[in-house]
Amino acid sequence: MSKTLKTISASDNIAGLNRTIERAKQELENMIDLNPQIMLLVDRNGTVVRANKALLNLLSFSSFNLVLGKTLDELFSCEGMLGRILPDKTQQSVVMHEATVTLPTSARRHLKFHIVKSDKKAATFVVVIFDITSDKEHAAHLEKKHKKEAVEALMGALMHNINQPLTVIMVRAQLMHMALQKSEINAKELSKNLEDIMRLSAQIADLLRAVEKPKDYVTTNYVRDVEILDIQRSGSRPEGLEESCTAVLDALITAMNAHEPGSMAHAKRVGEYAAAIAKEMGLNAAEIAIVRRCALVHDIGKIGIPDKILQKPESLTEEEKEIMMSHAEIGYNLLRDFPFLTREAEATRANHERFDGHGYPRQLRGEEIPLEARIVAVADSYDAMRSGRVYRAAIPAANALAEIVACSGTQFDPSVVKAFKKIQSKTDVLLKNQT
């Protein structure tokens, strides 16, 4: 009897425990079902085993029968989703993934999936889904708003910084055009207008390059509550600026050649001679490149000298000589505002200085004269003698070399002349190839 009572009591305890477990299970399922967060259980094939009502609401389904037994790929139209979100045995137990999916209603939503292995064998996975569509849309709206504000700030800065120099350039160009039409152009006026145009064009180009790859985004108050980009504090000096300045030099040389036919060929020959001298003197590749550019633009200031003086076949008057000598300063003024061309500008102004201090325009002497200018002076003089001028014929190589040597220590730097003597035999080949 006692034994039977004990058996009944044990059975009652087990039944009570099962009821408690069932009740807890039901409460847990109700809690999950009522949870506004989307939750579901899938097997290793991605088939839905259990789900809550939040999933039905997302999919606009009325019955669990439309969900259970379906795969994630069937419920969420997003190619290859299963392979991307379900972790394998080698991966961590929790995996997170974001995807833009198309729902059965054809609506597109951006969802974030949190997948957790429910057991060590990875037979089932708990999937928690967060609908972050509104967050993404808000972020996209903010990004678009910020980009619009950035563009407005940039354009405001460009208009503020560029409008004035552009206006000056257009006015200068129009005045030059009118003067040319009336044949009333003045050499000094032409020089001043060209100087302004080149300086302001360089200023505009530098501003544009500064904002091409900004290092920061700093604004400054413009008027009232309008903010514009502070180009100076936001900008950076990008790579490739030196190459663009070389392109400017090419344009200037082309313009010079139109003004004085043959000057481009002369400039290129002088560049070859000067580079050969610089190499003989032991300068490195970067320094040789600078010397070559200095040679290319050594006479660029002649663009501001009247044709009747440049092309005059007989000797110049004292007044005409003064005008001709001004080309050194004109060339310097044309180049000085271009980035990376400061040494070229200085050499352009100094290549007519003499080693003994009796040159022009500043009567520099010895090593006061930039080395580039001392090298260009020898190369320029040699090519001028070998190729001839409108007022005299070319002379033989031996005579030209003798003249260079005779002027060593007075007109020319002796160390440059020494280097030139060693490479002089190659110059006639260069001269032949360049003409």
Cβ atoms within 10 Å of 241's Cβ, excluding its own = 17
Enclosing H/E stretch for 229: strand 227-229
Domain 259-434 sits in CATH 1.10.260.40: no
Nearest Cα to 47, choosing from 79, 86, 77? 86
Cβ proximity of 218 and 230 under 8 Å = yes
Nearest Cα to 298, choosing from 384, 217, 235? 384
Nearest Cα to 259, choosing from 325, 322, 327, 320? 327
87-108 tens-digit pLDDT: 665 556 677 888 888 888 888 8
* Peptide bond preceding 87 in cis form (omega within 30 of 0): no
Sequence letter at residue 424 = Q
Query: What are the residue ranges of CATH 1.10.3210.10 in the chain?
Result: 259-434
Determine the pLDDT at residue 237.
52
Q: What is the CA angle 301-305-308, rounded to 5?
A: 150
DSSP strands (E only) in 89-221: 94-102, 108-117, 124-131, 219-221
DSSP strands (E only) in 150-208: none
Using CA of residue 255, residue 258, residue 259, residue 262, what is the dihedral sign? positive
Determine the pLDDT at residue 5.
47
Query: What are the residue ranges of CATH 3.30.450.20 in the chain?
Result: 21-131
Regions of the chain with pLDDT less than 50: 1, 3, 5, 238, 240
Cβ atoms within 10 Å of 18's Cβ, excluding its own = 10
Nearest Cα to 275, choosing from 299, 250, 248, 293? 293
Determine the pLDDT at residue 305.
84
Determine the pLDDT at residue 140.
74
391 Cβ partners below 8 Å, 6+ apart?
A: 312, 313, 314, 315
The token duo for 225 is 């509550």
Q: Residue 63 has what DSSP assignment? A: -
The token duo for 171 is 């006015």
pTM for the full predicted model? 0.51
Cβ proximity of 59 and 75 under 8 Å = yes
Cβ proximity of 113 and 40 under 8 Å = no
Determine the pLDDT at residue 418.
95
High-pLDDT (> 70) share of the chain, %? 65
As a whole number of angstroms, the distance between CA 160 and CA 173 comes to 21
User: Which CATH code of 3.20.20.70, 2.120.10.30, 2.40.110.10, 3.30.450.20 fits the domain covering 21-131?
Assistant: 3.30.450.20
| CA dist list (Å): 46 to 93, 114, 199, 214 | 16, 14, 69, 48
Cβ atoms within 10 Å of 198's Cβ, excluding its own = 20
As a whole number of angstroms, the distance between CA 338 and CA 344 comes to 10
Using CA of residue 388, residue 393, residue 394, residue 398, what is the dihedral sign? negative
Q: HSE on the CB side for 144, CA within 13 Å?
A: 6
349-371 tens-digit pLDDT: 999 999 999 999 999 999 999 99
